[in-house]
Structure 1
Amino acid sequence: MTIGTSAHSGSTPPERIELGDLVLRRWRTGDLTRRFAALTASHAHLRPWMSWAEQPPTLAGQRRSLQTSAAHWPTPDGGYLYGIFTARGEVAGGIGLHDRIDPGAMEIGYWCHVAHTGRGIITRAAHALTTTALALPHIGRVEIHCDAANVRSAAVPKRLGYDLVSTATRPRTAPADSGIGMVWATTGCRSDDL
């Protein structure tokens, strides 16, 4: 794993992380057509699990989102949002570190392009962001939250050696949600077989 140093102060995550055949990097406004195409192709795949995917993506909505991501590090809501790109420059998904839980902790959220599922891309990206987050001086814990029915999403923290720290009822926010939320947490990340 190679971590880019541009705009990396040590108290914020880097804007670019290279993982051999994958690159995690801060979204840019020039990513608009590729990201829109990836989300459009993946909408039926994402809609059951992602509240933000209730409606199909729009070009205008993606433009606004990318402008915010490109202008702010972190975004106004405390997120560090990355595109996951293949060696050929294809958008394989998106992943982010979010400052929306306890002080000293960050949450990872992710989505995968439907054409790239089942290849370990999200697991590798989540491992890289877990390692990156835990290297920040003010972060001691990383969490991944998902619905208990979302078996594929829950498999990621399980593979990375996260602990299931709570299972509790929560409001259903997406069509396939069971209403049972899982919180996975780690203070260190296993790197075996990644």
Structure 2
Amino acid sequence: MRWTRQLTEDVVLRPVTLDDAAALATAYADSWLHLAPWEPERPASWFTAEGQRREVEAHQRATGEGAGLWLVLVEQTTVVGRVSLTGIVRRAFQSANLGYWTAATHTGRGLMTRAVDAAAAIARDELGLHRLQAGTLLHNVASQRVLRRCGFTEIGVAERYLRIGGRWQDHRLFQRILHD
């Protein structure tokens, strides 16, 4: 499958499909206590297979339009994370925003570092992008470590950048230039 990468012996990074909807709903529900501090508030439907099916359909439309790419980390049939390239802008900019999360059961293994590196390679080599940008909450040191390991550099702080946990919060912004 296009854009698929083997991250470890057991975990594959690949494009999200409609067949992943139930597994995504389970992954979000099972890891919500871990993810909630870093995520926007979500409606109850977010944690259902039908809610995730609607999300995946929207992601697939956006991918088809060249506006983004959504990938899942899968261990056998279990979704253990997600990486997204969103807001792809072409022409002179050739840039996208990077987002990601790991299931609570799979943190601290270097898995997301591998996934972010793989997504950056896809962005550069297959999507022809020049730059990726990512933002983290100021206190999300683990995510900042992933970005730095993957060659991202800090470019500043954006005040009240995203509405996370029900309130506008400052974010530390990073970028990675993919082409010299």
TM-score (norm 1): 0.77
Shift of residue 95, structure 1, vs aligned partner? 0.7
Shift of residue 57, structure 1, vs aligned partner? 1.7
SS across alignment from 1:42:
helix
Shift of residue 52, structure 1, vs aligned partner? 5.0
Contact kept? 1:43, 1:53, Cα under 8 Å: no
Residue identity in the other structure for 1:81: W
SS across alignment from 1:118:
coil
Contact kept? 1:79, 1:97, Cα under 8 Å: yes
In angstroms, what is the RMSD of aligned CA positions?
Answer: 2.6
Alignment counterpart, residue 166 of structure 1, candidates 156, 159, 168: 156
CA distance in 2, matches of 1:41, 1:131: 30
Residue identity in the other structure for 1:139: L
- 1:29 corresponds to: 18
- 1:145 corresponds to: 135
TM-score (norm 2): 0.83
- Structure 2 vs 1, CA of residues 147 and 75 (structure 1 numbering), >3 Å: closer, same or farther? farther
Moved over 6 A (4+): none
Query: C-alpha offsets along residues 6-29 of structure 1, whole Å, 9 cap, x if unaligned?
Result: 4xxxxxxx3x22234221111111
The aligned length equals 175
The structure where helix makes up a greater share of residues is 2
Shift of residue 39, structure 1, vs aligned partner? 0.7
Query: C-alpha offsets along residues 2-58 of structure 1, whole Å, 9 cap, x if unaligned?
Result: xx5x4xxxxxxx3x2223422111111112221111111011111111115465623
Structure 2 residue 94 is the aligned partner of structure 1 residue 104: yes
Contact kept? 2:40, 2:166, Cα under 8 Å: no
CA distance in 2, matches of 1:125, 1:151: 18
- Structure 2 vs 1, CA of residues 118 and 177 (structure 1 numbering), >3 Å: closer, same or farther? farther
Shift of residue 178, structure 1, vs aligned partner? 8.0
SS across alignment from 2:29:
helix
User: Percent same amino acid among aligned pairs?
Assistant: 24
Structure 1 residue ranges without an equivalent (≥5): 7-13, 190-194
Aligned pairs (5 A) from 1:4-23: 4=1, 6=2, 14=3, 16-21=4-9, 22-23=11-12
- Structure 2 vs 1, CA of residues 113 and 73 (structure 1 numbering), >3 Å: closer, same or farther? same
- 1:40 corresponds to: 29
The structure where strand makes up a greater share of residues is 2
Shift of residue 184, structure 1, vs aligned partner? 0.7
Structure 2 residue ranges without an equivalent (≥5): none
Structure 2 residue 115 is the aligned partner of structure 1 residue 125: yes
Shift of residue 113, structure 1, vs aligned partner? 0.8
